[in-house]
Structure 1
Amino acid sequence: MQELSGKKLAAEIKASLIKEVKKLKNETGAAPHLIVLQYGEDAASKAYAGRIEKNCEAIGIEFEYQQFIDQPEDFKARLKAANADDKITSIMVQQPLPAELKDSLEMINPQKDIEGITSASLGKLFVGLETLNPATAEACMEILDYYDIPIKGQRAVVVGRSNIVGKPVSILLQQKHATVTMCHSRTRDLKWELKNADIVVAAVGRAEMIKGEMLNENSVVIDVGTNFVEGKLLGDVDYNSAAEKVKSITPVPGGVGTVTNQVLMRNIVKSFKNLHGIR
Structure 2
Amino acid sequence: MLCSQVMLGSVFRCLRTSPVAGKRSMSQSSLAGKVAIVTASTDGIGLATAQALGKRGAHVVVSSRRQANVDKAVALLQGQSIQVTGTTCNVGIGADREKLVQMTLDQCGGIDILVSNAAVNPFFGNIMDSTEDVWDKILSVNVKSAFLMTKLVVPHMTKRGGGNVVFVSSVAGYQPMQALGPYSVSKTALLGLTRALAPELAHSNIRVNCVAPGIIKTRFSSALWHNEDIIDEFKKMLSIKRLGEPEEIGGVIAFLCSEEASYITGETITVTGGINCRL
TM over 0.5: no
TM-score with structure 2 setting the length: 0.34
Query: Which structure carries more helix by proportion?
Result: 2
Structure with the larger RCO, 1 or 2 (CA within 8 Å, 6+ apart): 1
TM-score with structure 1 setting the length: 0.34
